Amino acid sequence: MNKLLEIKHLTKNYITNALEINAIKDLTFDVYEGEIVSIVGTSGCGKSSLLSILAGIDKQSSGEFSFLKDKDISIGYMLQSDSLFPWLTIYENAILGLKIKKEDTLENKDYVKNLLDTYNLGEFKDKYPNELSGGMRQRVV
Ligand SMILES: Nc1ncnc2c1ncn2[C@@H]1O[C@H](COP(=O)(O)OP(=O)(O)OP(=O)(O)O)[C@@H](O)[C@H]1O
Ligand SMILES: [Mg+2]
């Protein structure tokens, strides 16, 4: 099997109020194509920190990781908290990224509407986040 992801000696420290928290300490492992990997551990052990680093949302303090594949790899990452804006409808939340990037073309907006249908959210598109269940909100993200 092809190796897809290589993580070597990854460390993440957060510094807040002159206090240093070591969230990830010298983490090394590989992931192979076709594998389903679960990251399991007690609350606060660094799971979200790791995923944020792999998704490019945050930076590691030391160590390295690389995705080893010729073809482009796209990463889907469902955040722990959904971060939907409460004053925007489900549809408005869903197209916000396109709007910011000025890519809210008719074609792209249709694509988003289709995605909402695919995830059984079509009939909720004009509702606000507080009218949806936790699982539905995560599907919007
Ligand atoms: N932005 C941050 N600033 C400071 N400390 C942080 C930050 N994010 C996480 N931490 C700390 O890093 C450690 C790991 O947090 P992380 O969110 O990665 O844990 P987790 O394994 O995802 O926990 P949970 O299962 O509760 O979601 C915790 O001690 C947490 O307090
Ligand atoms: Mg977490």
Which DSSP state fits 62?
E
Judge whether 84 and 129 are in contact, CB under 8 Å.
yes
Nearest to 124 by CA among 133, 108, 106: 133
pLDDT at residue 73 in the model: 79
User: Percentages helix, strand, coil for the chain, rounded to the nearest 5?
Assistant: 30, 25, 45
pLDDT at residue 82 in the model: 85
Question: Best substitution site from 48, 51, 82 to test ligand 1's pocket, by max atoms within 8 Å of Cβ?
Answer: 48
What domains appear along the chain, each with residue ranges and CATH number? Answer: 3-67 (3.40.50.300), 90-140 (no CATH)
Name which residue sits closest to atom 16 of ligand 1, judged by CA. 46
47 vs 44: CA distance, rounded Å = 8
Distance from the alpha carbon of residue 49 to the mean position of ligand 1, in angstroms: 6
What are the CA-CA distances from residue 24 to residues 3, 36, 45, 46, 98 (Å)? 22, 21, 7, 6, 33
106 vs 89: CA distance, rounded Å = 18
For the whole model, what pTM was predicted?
A: 0.80
pLDDT along the chain (141 residues), means of 10: 93 92 97 94 95 94 90 80 93 95 95 96 96 92 88
Return the structure tokens found at 123.
């009939």
Atom of ligand 1 nearest to the CA of 15: 4
pLDDT at residue 1 in the model: 80
29 vs 6: CA distance, rounded Å = 6
Q: Is the CB of 16 under 6 A from ligand 1?
A: yes
